[in-house]
Amino acid sequence: MTTSIDPDVVQWREGTGGDLLVLLHGLGSNELDLFGLVPHLPAKFTVASLRAPLRYGPGFAWFEFGGAADPDDSELIDASTKAVLAWLDDLEQDYDRVHLLGFSQGGAVATQLARLAPERFASISHLASFVHPGAQSGDADLAAREPRMPVLSTLGDFDEVIGQARAALSASWLDEHFDVERHNYPRGHSIVQEELTDLVAFLERV
């Protein structure tokens, strides 16, 4: 079965400017989840909230973990990433710049998108998330961008879903490839008000 983004379920908010902000939800969620942030996001962005292509419990996933699979295997995340790129290619409207906002697994997809298409995206909001392991063809080009792509990286001090080890590895990788603005909060695996304030300020600047 071909992995693809369903255009009929994408949630849209028209913006006042020429930039597109793509929202990528977390594991087991759907396109309505992050769309709840839209009233708080800068009006200049047209916002599109996507549904991940894989069924996962009551919701959807971009890729799955577990089993005997090699944790460095990027087949599923790359299929979902290429599906997002294909969806962008099919849009009737051209946008000045495309920004990515991903929560948890959606944040991993956001960084994977930048790794597969290093020149295509303007910024990443990487919320309660991580970087998928393994090398990608665009990693060197991504690190060589001048100026580097701005990334907002947020983590919770009590986030057991991401975990300290994976967060540390991801932080090091992000620093090697992006211009990173990092914030930590006394939270678990969620988005808190202070984080939302920092997110809005970041999006106003990019």
pLDDT digits (tens, 9 = 90+) for 52-74: 999 999 999 999 864 434 455 68
CATH number (domain holding residue 160): 3.40.50.1820
What pLDDT score was predicted for residue 68? Answer: 39
**Residue 2 located in a structural domain:** no
**Residue 47 located in a structural domain:** yes
What pLDDT score was predicted for residue 134? Answer: 86
Cross-strand pairs, 185: 156
Q: CA 98 to CA 106: how far, in whole Å?
A: 16
Q: Which has the closest alpha carbon to 101: 6, 33, 7, 18? A: 33
Range of the domain at 118: 7-205
pTM for the whole structure: 0.95
153 phi and psi angles, rounded to 5 deg: -115, 120
Q: CA 174 to CA 176: how far, in whole Å?
A: 5
Number of domains in the chain: 1
Q: CA 141 to CA 197: how far, in whole Å?
A: 31
**Residue 1 located in a structural domain:** no
What pLDDT score was predicted for residue 149? Answer: 98
- Spell out, as residue ranges, where the chain has pLDDT lower than 50: 1, 66-70
**Residue 121 located in a structural domain:** yes
What pLDDT score was predicted for residue 72? Answer: 56
